[in-house]
Amino acid sequence: MNKPILITGSHRSGSTWVGNIIKNLSMIYYIHEPLTPNSITRGLFNTEVWYKYYDPNKEHEKVESILNKLFIGQYPLKALLHFKNSLPSTDYRNPNGINDNKIDFKYLKWRIGAYLDSKKLKFNKVNHNEIIPLIKDPICLTAAEWIHKRWKSKNVFLIRHPAAFVSSLLRLNWRFNFENFIKQPDLINRFLKPYESDINNPTMDFISEASLIWLCTTKIIIEYQKIYPNWIYIRHEDLSYNPIKEFELLFEKLELPYTSKVKRFIQATSDHSNPSEVSNKGKVHQLQRNSRENIKNWKKRLTNKEIKKIRDITEHISNKFYSDKDW
């Protein structure tokens, strides 16, 4: 089996765009958010918190056995049967959780896609040894170390400007339940000790809450950088400003062919003729954007007071990635 590729970072940092670009290669088997609650694997194993920490020094046999099958392009038919809403109470979009027995069309789509893609590999007679599994999952941020230790994965981390991250959450009105972290003392002790007090006292306004999420996820990435400097760390803004060149560098690091099909897809999803803003404010993803203009959309969405607040909260970490000119 080839080494899997993991595209992760915090949510709202461009992992969907990057994943969709890489999956244009015929040998790629795209695995959409397998460790996310209500994901394509729900029903096979259930994740009850967002950003579940997988200790690299412990065994996670059930999850490992399922990922082993996915990594050779086998998606079980029975996973399609779990198509009803069933989100835990810690869901970051719906703080009270969802278990209403309604069909979850969004994740049913991803499940059907994963199943059909697995059949497509078989139909095209792609050998198991030729498949390169691609995990696109921001929530795998806290599993990256375990995945690398177990499968020698090639890990890619996306970092996004804190104001852009906050404005994206604000547009979608996505809140975060810090019970996701509080329920995981191992995660806090491993990565988030400096923010333990804030995490345990999360009554705050939207801007402060979103800024704290950015701090927590970015602190995890910084800790990884110290231990694993050879992993790949990319700013969303660099990919957006010069996508053709930056994706070529990324493909080179991942030892993937940079084909004309890939370049056409990058051009189509980043061209200056595309809209700079999403056409529907509630739309989660819109791949075709003017990527260069999208970099600074947060300046239109946020007030000067909100921007200052975000910078005041995050600058002790954000200054490792962003200078004055980026504000």
- Give the tens place of pLDDT for each residue, 245-298: 999 999 999 999 999 999 999 999 988 886 665 655 544 455 666 788 889 999
pLDDT in tens, the chain (327 residues): 899 999 999 888 999 999 999 999 999 999 988 998 767 777 677 777 889 999 999 999 999 999 999 999 988 777 777 655 555 555 555 545 445 556 666 667 777 888 888 888 877 778 878 899 999 999 999 999 999 999 999 999 999 999 999 999 998 888 888 999 999 999 999 999 999 999 998 767 999 999 999 999 999 999 999 999 999 999 999 999 999 999 999 999 999 999 999 999 999 998 888 666 565 554 445 566 678 888 999 999 999 999 999 999 999 999 999 999 999
Sign of the Cα pseudo-torsion (49, 55, 61, 65, in order): positive
Among residues 209, 56, 212, 202, which one has the least CA distance to residue 142? 56
Q: What are φ and ψ of residue 131, in 5° steps?
A: -70, 135
| Cα maximum dimension of the chain | 57
Superfamily of domain 5-326: P-loop containing nucleotide triphosphate hydrolases (3.40.50.300)
- Give the tens place of pLDDT for each residue, 186-212: 999 999 999 999 999 876 799 999 999
Among residues 171, 122, 135, which one has the least CA distance to residue 8? 135
